[in-house]
């Protein structure tokens, strides 16, 4: 799309969702940096680049600059851990959670490295945090550094991602105005659960496919099997279950607000947002639409828009179910990464025309 050699360094890279999407868009991935060393195999196996196990707050800007060599266009991306800004922790004391300050560390590196393009993805709640307006401070600093900044809340199904995930996406460029490409899908074209995972092999609770050991479902108890058998896709435990199956905690006023737990997904709609606990039926509407189980690791990954061939561990014996579930839930959907990458390449092409 351009005559530029465009390369990126991915801070907080995780298992490589964003980097993989960038690679698909034609951007060279120089390296990924993350504090969680369990992500190393998946990042390197799928993104074909170097994983650096490090705390970004301790990474020197000069080290990041050296990763770029003499590339024409430098892209720096950073999707800091979103847990401090999630719905569940928004009311907590952020002074006790150092992770939310990682956005300031990102700003420090940007100031020193001076990349041509900056991108960030995070939870929408980052906009709401008033006590310490970290995101708004971040935008202000980018503008002071000479960047044109765009950001908005993105609804994932608008870009072909089969889940109802909303994310805050930011793009910034020193070369001129930049923005995300227009939505690629209308509501009538949204990718449904059926289209995403309907072709996968049937498995039971606690089983794994013999063809793909990542297509494995967690084991659920006999009582939970009874519960999911009474669950209707898109329904609720409060309407669908016999009284003896209902949990005491859900009968309270607060508990009655959690209507989606133990629920089944609907075949012909995008899935709920994937979380780190999306492979357990007690954590949300994560039941398979037909089969009496929670969605498998592979199904969760596909609903995150990872290709079915994505590697999470080298062999069956090394699979740690909870670890991979967490990694998938924490990841940037690769398709969203590709959309961001395409937006960057489109921007550079337009800027080149205007020179």
pLDDT averaged over every residue in the chain: 90
List, for residues 256-293, the tens digit of each pLDDT value: 556 788 899 999 999 999 999 999 998 899 999 999 99
Q: Helices 17-24 & 40-47, crossing angle to 10 degrees?
A: 0
Domains located in the chain, CATH noted: 6-186+333-353 (3.40.50.150), 189-330 (3.90.120.10)
If you write DSSP's letter for every residue of 198-225 in order, what string do you get? TTSPP--TT-B-SS-TTSB-----HHHH
Answer yes or no: are the C-beta atoms of 178 and 344 closer than 8 Å: yes
- Report in angstroms the alpha-carbon separations of 279 from 130, 171, 275, 300: 33, 32, 9, 7
Structure confidence at residue 96 as a pLDDT band (50, 70, 90): very low
Question: Known catalytic residue: 79?
Answer: no
| Nearest C-alpha neighbor of 327 from the set 281, 267, 261, 277 | 277
Q: Closest Cα partner for 30 from 59, 8, 61, 1? A: 8
- Rounded to a whole number of angstroms, the CA Rg of the chain reads 21
Q: Strand locations in the chain, DSSP E?
A: 6-11, 28-34, 50-53, 73-78, 117-122, 148-155, 166-173
CA–CA separation, 144 vs 136, rounded Å?
A: 12
- Is a pLDDT exceeding 80 seen at residue 81? no
Report residue 34's pLDDT band, with 50, 70 and 90 as the boundaries: very high
- Which is the catalytic residue, given 13, 82, 249, 278? 82
Q: pTM of the predicted model, to two decimals?
A: 0.92
Band of residue 119 on the pLDDT scale cut at 50, 70, 90: very high
| C-beta atoms surrounding 198 within 10 Å | 12
User: What are the tens digits of pLDDT across the range 122-141?
Assistant: 989 888 766 668 899 999 99
Paired tokens of 13: 């890279």
The answer to whether the CB of 185 falls within 8 A of the CB of 159 is yes
């Amino acid at each position: 799309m351009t005559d530029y050699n465009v390369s990126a360094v991915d801070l907080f890279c995780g298992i490589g969702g964003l980097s993989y999407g960038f690679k698909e868009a034609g951007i060279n991935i120089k390296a990924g940096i993350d504090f969680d060393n369990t992500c190393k195999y998946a990042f390197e196996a799928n993104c074909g680049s170097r994983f650096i196990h490090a705390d970004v707050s301790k990474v020197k800007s000069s080290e990041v600059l050296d990763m770029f060599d003499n590339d024409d266009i430098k892209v720096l991306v950073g999707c800091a851990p979103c847990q401090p800004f999630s719905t569940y922790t928004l009311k907590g004391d952020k002074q006790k959670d150092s992770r939310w300050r990682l956005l300031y560390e990102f700003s420090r590196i940007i100031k020193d490295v001076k990349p041509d393009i900056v991108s960030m993805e995070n939870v929408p709640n980052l906009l709401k945090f008033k006590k310490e307006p970290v995101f708004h401070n971040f935008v202000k600093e980018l503008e002071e550094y000479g960047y044109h900044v765009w950001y908005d809340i993105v609804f994932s199904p608008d870009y072909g991602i089969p889940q109802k995930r909303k994310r805050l996406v930011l793009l910034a460029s020193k070369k001129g105005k930049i923005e995300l490409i227009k939505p690629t899908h209308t509501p009538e074209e949204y990718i449904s659960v059926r289209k995403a995972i309907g072709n996968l092999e049937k498995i039971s609770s606690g089983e794994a496919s013999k063809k793909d050991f990542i297509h494995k479902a967690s084991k659920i108890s006999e009582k939970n099997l009874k519960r999911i058998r009474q669950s209707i896709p898109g329904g609720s435990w409060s309407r669908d279950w016999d009284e003896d199956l209902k949990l005491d905690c859900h009968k309270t006023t607060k508990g009655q607000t959690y209507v989606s737990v133990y629920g089944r997904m609907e075949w012909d709609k995008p899935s709920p947002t994937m979380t780190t606990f999306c492979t357990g039926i007690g954590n949300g509407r994560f039941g398979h639409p037909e089969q009496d189980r929670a969605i498998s690791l592979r199904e969760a990954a596909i609903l995150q828009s990872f290709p079915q061939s994505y590697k999470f561990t080298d062999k069956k014996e090394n699979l740690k179910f909870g670890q991979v579930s967490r990694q998938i839930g924490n990841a940037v959907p690769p398709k969203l990464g590709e959309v961001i990458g395409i937006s960057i390449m489109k921007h550079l092409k337009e800027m080149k025309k205007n020179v």
